[in-house]
């Protein structure tokens, strides 16, 4: 006797596997800021769209010829639940590739006050104690650069370039060590 394949499980398994892989790629991109995960996510999104759509059509055909059509339709519903999630992940990725996340590290030997970041967006930091870090998110509206202005312990004005050229789509996560940038 031939064992019959359970088509109602196919959609649910496809939805869960797609969800897990997409979530892993998204989390890796968010925590590392590495754009290679952003590109992988984009191509996974396109590939998953084709695969899921093909499986959905296959299941719809099988449901029309099956006595378990309600179970197969429920399986298709699982797949449809991934659509809003995919849109959310895609929009989140678009946001993050338009944002530079800078961790400013102060190992200069003294506290730094009245720090300002200019260029793409203006941000001010009142104080970073020696040995501490501060996270700053900068939106990238167009082609621009990111500079850092502060006073050292002697009261001398210091100017550093964090990134000399940034454009939309270059979003990432970086660490800038105060005193190690391009001075001007």
How far are the Cα atoms of 51, 132, 138 from residue 135, in angstroms, in the given order? 39, 10, 10
Reduced to 3 states (helix: H, G, I; strand: E, B; else coil), residue 6 is coil
Q: Is residue 114 part of a domain?
A: yes
Category of 149 on φ-ψ map: left (φ > 0), alpha (ψ -120 to 50) or beta: beta
Same domain, 88 and 104: no
- Reading the block at residue 3, the tokens are 């064992």
Pairing of strands 99-105, 172-177: parallel
Mean pLDDT, all residues of the chain: 86
Which of 96, 123, 144 represents a domain boundary (last residue)?
A: 96
Which of 36, 71, 96 represents a domain boundary (last residue)?
A: 96
Domain range for 111: 99-183
Which of 96, 125, 150 represents a domain boundary (last residue)?
A: 96
In contact, 144 and 166? CB cutoff 8 Å: yes
Same domain, 88 and 131: no
Q: Is residue 32 part of a domain?
A: yes
Q: Is residue 2 part of a domain?
A: no
Same domain, 43 and 108: no
Same domain, 65 and 111: no
Same domain, 16 and 67: yes
Q: Is residue 140 part of a domain?
A: yes
Phi then psi dihedrals of residue 39, to 5 deg: -65, -40
Is the pLDDT reported for residue 2 higher than 50?
no
pLDDT digit string (tens) for 94-132?
888 888 999 999 988 888 888 999 989 999 998 899 899
Q: Is residue 3 part of a domain?
A: no
Q: Is residue 85 part of a domain?
A: yes
- Reading the block at residue 153, the tokens are 């312990």
0.85 cut: is pTM over it?
no
pLDDT digit string (tens) for 150-184?
887 778 888 899 999 998 888 888 999 987 765 44
pLDDT digit string (tens) for 41-77?
888 988 998 999 999 999 888 888 777 788 888 888 8
Same domain, 86 and 65: yes
Q: Band the pLDDT of 140: cuts 50, 70, 90.
A: very high
Same domain, 83 and 110: no
- The pLDDT of residue 93 is 81
If one counts the domains in the chain, the total is: 2
Any idea what the CATH number is for the domain that residue 172 is in? 2.60.40.2890
């Amino acid at each position: 006797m031939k064992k019959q394949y359970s088509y109602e499980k196919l959609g649910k398994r496809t939805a869960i596997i797609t969800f897990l892989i997409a979530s892993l790629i998204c989390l890796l991109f968010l925590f590392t800021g590495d754009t290679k995960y952003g590109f992988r996510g984009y191509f996974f999104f396109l590939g998953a769209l084709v695969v899921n759509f093909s499986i959905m059509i296959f299941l719809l055909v099988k449901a029309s010829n099956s006595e378990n059509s309600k179970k197969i339709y429920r399986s298709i519903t699982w797949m449809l639940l991934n659509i809003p999630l995919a849109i959310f992940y895609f929009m989140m990725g678009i946001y993050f590739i338009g944002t530079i996340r800078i961790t400013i590290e102060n190992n200069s030997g003294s506290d730094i006050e009245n720090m300002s970041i200019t260029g793409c967006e203006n941000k001010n930091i009142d104080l970073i104690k020696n040995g501490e870090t501060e996270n700053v998110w900068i939106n990238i509206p167009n082609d621009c650069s990111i500079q850092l202005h502060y006073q050292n312990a002697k009261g001398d004005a210091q100017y550093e370039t964090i990134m000399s050229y940034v454009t939309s789509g270059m979003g990432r996560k970086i660490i800038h060590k105060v005193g190690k940038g391009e001075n001007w």
